[in-house]
Amino acid sequence: MHYFTLGSIPHKRHTIFRQPDGKLYSEELFSTEGFSNDYSLMYHVHPPTKVLAVEEMHSIAPRIAIKGNMQHRSLATFKTPPHEDYIQSRVPLLVNKDVYMGVAAPLKNMDYFFKNADADELLFIHEGEGTLHTAFGDLPFAYGDYLIIPRGTIYKLSFKDANNRIMYLESFTPITPPRRYLSKFGQLMEHSPYCERDIRKPQNLQTNTETGEFKIIIKKQDTLFNYTYANHPFDVIGWDGNCYPYAFSIHDFEPITGRVHQPPPVHQTFEAHNFVVCSFCPRLFDYHPQSIPAPYNHSNIDSDEVLYYVDGDFMSRKHVVRGQITLHPKGIPHGPHPGTVEKSIGAKETKELAVMVDTFHPLMVTEQALEIEEKDYFKSWME
């Protein structure tokens, strides 16, 4: 993301910066790729290294049911039960070595802090609203927001009420805007379907100077560790840089349309190593007089395709419900359901809203996914 600063920082990096009582602020370099890529510099009231206790809790590794999936599948994710605790509400459904995909339905605010030490996180807010609290500041969120949280970010979520549904991704490489949208200096270019004005950056930086015992649950290599820190982790007086959490609303994505049906890459929103994220948003249909708005059949030769249905009527599918996930694995053609092609002719617009994830390595199916699977989905093209 582009450069941003919040709070108080010294004029030069790595120089003396004192607190009102004369003590030095503790400078921390925050980066997800060592010293070789984007970073931010944070200035703490206390050193961010004071740990009172460490306890290994338990493994939360995905329980794999199917490693070599070669079947179209549909998952009714709203059947996953809510849970009071945020971490325990997270249910991994589809995974590979690059990305974990799952859903969460937390009922209560977090009374602890959480850090994913392995993966950048993307949280898509399907239902609910609240605030993402971090040492960088606050990010209010609501329906349709993507929250991008770099790995290593300590955060806490608070919700307005108990009605929350989240689709989440854990990416083992950084999640970024597509490279083709960026200039060589990193600015989002004119052909990009969104720009810097649409990116919501942290706000309301509050410096918490409390000391005591503060619980931070850290996820590392599919295991949770309970850390007790001697000071509040949000004790930052100021920071600057290019690596920080941010929010982007799917409602601010500007669809690219044409005279005939446009391929899925025009909907691309984010990318990481070996997968992409796309946003299907309300838009006008193709305007060639003979156009067929419904997508054509296509073979997934090099990627698994996952669609998470958010809202609206998806013109190429039947029996779609909110929160449904479809998995179309590489090696099997798929396309519009019977009757939807003819039905789409002459249609002027679509109100569909969905998130698509294409992975370039096959996805494995978890035991939890099979518990919410609609078993005969692969036969739905026979109607």
Domains of the chain by residue range: 254-382
Kindly tell me if the per-residue pLDDT of 383 is higher than 80: no
Average pLDDT of the chain, as a whole number = 93
The per-residue DSSP string of 234-292 comes to --EEEEEES---EEEEGGG------SSPPPGGGGEEEEETTEEEEEE--EE---STT--
How far apart are alpha carbons 241 and 106 in whole angstroms?
32
Contact 144, 251 (CB under 8 A): yes
Q: Which amino acid is at 217?
A: I
pLDDT of residue 318: 65
pLDDT tens track for 278-310:
999 888 888 888 888 778 888 878 899 999 999
Angle at 361 between CA 169 and CA 313, to 5 degrees: 55
How far apart are alpha carbons 99 and 304 in whole angstroms?
12
Place of tokens 């849970």: 83
> Which residues, at least 6 apart from 263, have a Cβ–Cβ distance to it below 8 Å?
none
Place of tokens 């919501």: 200
* Average pLDDT over every residue of 242-248: 97
Question: Which residues is 238 bridged to in the sheet?
Answer: 7, 43
pLDDT tens track for 88-98:
999 999 999 99
Strands 333-334 vs 91-95: parallel, antiparallel or unpaired: unpaired
Alpha helices by DSSP H, listed for the chain, are 86-89, 340-344, 367-371
Q: Longest C-alpha distance within the chain, in Å?
A: 75
Of 294 and 259, the one with more pLDDT: 259
- 3-class SS at 227? strand
DSSP secondary structure letter of residue 342: H
How far apart are alpha carbons 154 and 135 in whole angstroms?
7
pLDDT of residue 289: 85
CATH code for the structural domain at 254-382: 2.60.120.10
pLDDT of residue 144: 97
C-alpha Rg value of the chain to the nearest Å: 22
pLDDT tens track for 181-224:
999 999 999 999 999 999 999 999 999 999 999 999 999 999 99
How far apart are alpha carbons 84 and 162 in whole angstroms?
9
- 3-class SS at 77? helix
pLDDT of residue 254: 93
Taking the model in full, what pTM does it have?
0.94
Q: Which two tokens stand for residue 42?
A: 């944070």
Nearest to 365 by CA among 75, 76, 94, 77: 94
